[in-house]
Amino acid sequence: MGTGIPASEQSNCAKGDPQVYYPEETASSEAVQVTGCESPDDSRPPHEPGYCHPEDTGQLMASYEGKARGYQVPPYGWRICLAHEFTEKRKPLQARDISLSNLIKHLGMGLRYLKWWYRKTQVEKKKPFIDMINSIPLRQIYGCPLGGIGGGTITRGWRGQFCRWQLNPGLYQHQTVIADQFTVCLRREGRTVYQQVLSLERPSVLRSWNWGLCGHFAFYHALYPRAWTVYQLPGQNVTLTCRQITPILPHDYQDSSLPVGVFVWDVENEGDEALDVSIMFSMRNGLGGGDDAPGGLWNEPFCLERDGETVKGLLLHHPTLPNPYTMAVAARLTADTTVTHITAFDPDSTGQQVWQDLLEDGQLDSPAGQSTPSQKGAGIAGAVCVSSKLPPRGRCCLEFSLAWDMPRIMFGARGQVHYRWYTRFFGQDGDAAPALSHYALCRYTDWENRISAWQNPVLDDRSLPAWYKSALFNELYFLADGGTVWLEVPDDSLPEELGGSLHQLRPILQHYGRFGYLEGQEYRMYNTYDVHFYASFALVMLWPKLELSLQYDIALATLREDLTRRRYLMSGVIAPVKRRNVIPHDIGDPDDEPWLRVNAYLIHDTADWKDLNLKFVLQVYRDYYLTGDQDFLKDMWPVCLAVMESEMKFDKDQDGLIENGGYADQTYDGWVTTGPSAYCGGLWLAAVAVMVQMAVLCGAQDVRDKFSSILNRGQEAYERLLWNGRYYNYDSSSHPQSRSVMSDQCAGQWFLRACGLGEGDTEVFPIPHVVRALQTIFELNVQAFAGGAMGAVNGMQPHGVPDRSSVQSDEVWVGVVYGLAATMIQEGLTWEGFQTAEGCYRTVWERLGLAFQTPEAYCQQRVFRSLAYMRPLSIWAMQLALQQQQQKKDGRPIIEQSKGLSPRPKCGPKGALANLSPE
């Protein structure tokens, strides 16, 4: 193949088979011994800097045969050997996985969906917002995504492959691009002794490269927004540690938005000979798919010197409409490093030219000038190489960045041009990739210090289990990788007529931009509000101004209407898209024109859903409580009054308690609820209680009296109709499932506690009843389900059998479980809370191989549903509960009000947010 390394010497994992590599330019009988998979020596003592003992790694590290621990790899996070294989291979939920009785119930919906799906895909040539026909297949490969919030993301898998791309807003391409690789070259005494692509792949292209790295001597460690990959190179006395850094920085609204990632390679020479080391970073221009096919892609080298720091690399220009972009592969030039490049090569060829170029002297030829634009259907790639010298027992640091500049975007409807938020700092002209690269390589050390300052209080807390520390930070991946957009809001795009009611609408949106994230990578709707109710804890605790911005957008949509009529798939009823004074289900589909056209969801007419209005009221008060922003509360007060007025029509018998409508009219959109119910009734009472508090703050005595009266009547009805001595019944109907134990039945109390309410003078649900219900849920939904090892099933019959009356009642919803765990912690059941949540983490991250794609749901066996979902961000509610618990022990005040648009509000539970800030 012309690799310069005989085929018999290509890296493999044949145990005990020593590999001998003779560089082709020498006929010397002196050979370099390379052990196949015999354990290389790592005699570093535990007290030495950089040594760490992996904690809580379990089965994921069982295949690791090396001794290297890597350079400064932290002890906490998600760790997996590159040779690990997940034995359980689940499939997405499909029609054949649904019971016959449930299929019959949903037959009409299924037929209407098929008709709609055919029109959408075959006539309109668009992607369905939920594709029940072509679910994303399971790939147990994903790792930490690169890129800040709202500028697009690129996911690098735990085996090193660049494999999930979200550059066009909200739309994903799940494919591994083979040319996107790191390659190491080691030279001793002027000879190349080792050259290896750091990949386990054995592809059909670039066959001249040395593929097939032995995964038994490498591991991956993720603690978002950073990740480490450690490679112990067989027979070389060399350990490579690649550290991946993304600027996810709480309360930082500039750097957190940047579309960049940094790779820092720490190379440790553990031998007694000097060594020359080179790392080559190769990258294809585009993904090799339809976006590349028209051709016209081109590369060029660049060098940017600023403030005494020099960055060199390649610009990969991808001018394909409607969203052209430039990607920059760059490296930092220092006194100890040499940076070289190859401007263009064919990523679909054997790769002989590139491989030999690196093999000859550990550097690339660095031709000047631009490449020729690619021809139609042809691919183009480039590479950047950093080289340095290592003395015996020495260490060097090689620094790369990956940046992409797609400043102007159009959503699927191609109706409006939007500018991403980061362009406020780096310009809108599409020429910012060099500056982004330079900024990232010069600032990443500061980013890491701030990330550590933010995370260390949690990581250093010995009372917290190791799995929780991993889950808390790694689940945050979705805030950036949830199809997320963060946009500038032009002055002329905001309505004039609402200036009198939403006074802070313009300042908030203009100062902090417009934020949107998907319900899930498979459920393509922005800011799905019934689910954001759970996920919003992460946003309000870490980037509170984005949460307020989102709330203003929801309020704006609430006051508007879209009377366009359409057929809803579940009922077949024709009704308007959006009615005035009801909360929208979502803010729109990225394949259409979100914010302009809301409610992409058309399975139910959500104007009659019972939970959306209530969740808005609860979140408004929670956000006020955590930010102390009185102007926000005053703006939202009229909207809360309007949506509660709309909600009151659901209390048909005027007993102070709303009734569900006999269909799935809430976030459990496949689980029928009839009459007063534990979930919606609890949310209603909590929202009414919050309205009482807001009325006092807003000086509305008459409103306070009105809602106090409703609350008193509703509390009596709720207890009388639903409490059975052990828990609250699912609903008050005569259906067999009405006595099911719902894991989410205490959601109202959960939010009240998060707002500093729900006990003493503000008690809504009797605390003994809440505690007894949570204990029953733990006994039945958790411990009696799957041996207590998979979290809490949504519904459990009182005799200990899962409720299979619907397609959702026998599922585990990860985000609901984390919220349930937070509720348990709030009520003093801390051990039970951690046991409950641990089952979900172990199932998703360790057993099913769903890291960085946590699904909405899984069943006890066989299936999962909706990969990479918003709701599991609710794990941050657990952290808030723990911090509030600590505040009570310390005797600190829970609430200390402030007002206005201060960038760091002096808020209610200031202590709850203080140790989450990197500042």
Q: What is the pLDDT of residues 328-384, one digit of tens each?
A: 999 999 999 999 999 999 999 999 999 999 999 999 999 999 999 999 999 999 999
Q: CB–CB of 843/72 below 8 Å?
A: no
Task: Say which DSSP state 374 is in.
Answer: P
Arithmetic mean of pLDDT over the chain: 91
The pLDDT tens digits for 603-646 are: 999 999 999 999 999 999 999 999 999 999 999 999 999 999 99
Q: What six digits make up the tokens of 28?
A: 């010397």
Distance CA 918, CA 451 (A): 6
Reading the block at residue 539, the tokens are 């946003």
Domains 137-150+157-451 and 489-889 share a fold: no
**Closest Cα partner for 163 from 184, 140, 132, 183?**
140
What's residue 49's pLDDT? 32
Task: Flag whether pLDDT at 908 surpasses 80.
Answer: no
Considering the entire predicted model, what is its pTM?
A: 0.92
Strand partners, 518: 526
DSSP one-letter string for 281-315: EEEESS-SSTTTTT---EEEEEEEEETTEEEEEEE
Calculate the CA dihedral of residues 609, 612, 617, 622 and round it to 10 degrees. 140
pLDDT of 3 > 70? The answer is: no
User: CA 319, CA 872: separation in Å to the nearest integer?
Assistant: 36
> Looking at domain 137-150+157-451, which CATH architecture does it have?
Distorted Sandwich (2.70)
Strand, helix or coil for residue 363 = coil
- At residue 662, the 3 state secondary structure works out as strand
Q: How far apart are CA 640 and CA 919, in angstroms?
A: 34
The alpha-carbon radius of gyration of the chain (Å, integer) is 28
What is the predicted pLDDT for the residue at 50? 33
Residue-wise pLDDT for 441-474, tens only, equals: 999 999 999 999 999 999 999 999 999 999 999 9
Span 137-166, average pLDDT: 97
**Residue-level pLDDT at 470:** 98
Which neighbouring-strand residues pair with 311?
A: 304, 332
Run of H or E residues at 184: strand 181-188
Domain ranges of the chain: 91-123, 137-150+157-451, 489-889
Task: Band the pLDDT of 491: cuts 50, 70, 90.
Answer: confident
Q: Domain 489-889, what fold? A: Glycosyltransferase (1.50.10)
Question: By C-alpha distance, which of 817, 875, 901, 903 is closest to 479?
Answer: 875
| Range name among 5-19, 364-378, 497-511, 583-597 with the lowest pLDDT average | 5-19
Rounded to an integer, what distance in angstroms lies between the CA atom of residue 73 and that of residue 81?
14
Mind listing the pLDDT tens digit for each residue in 759-799? 999 999 999 999 999 999 999 999 999 999 999 999 999 99
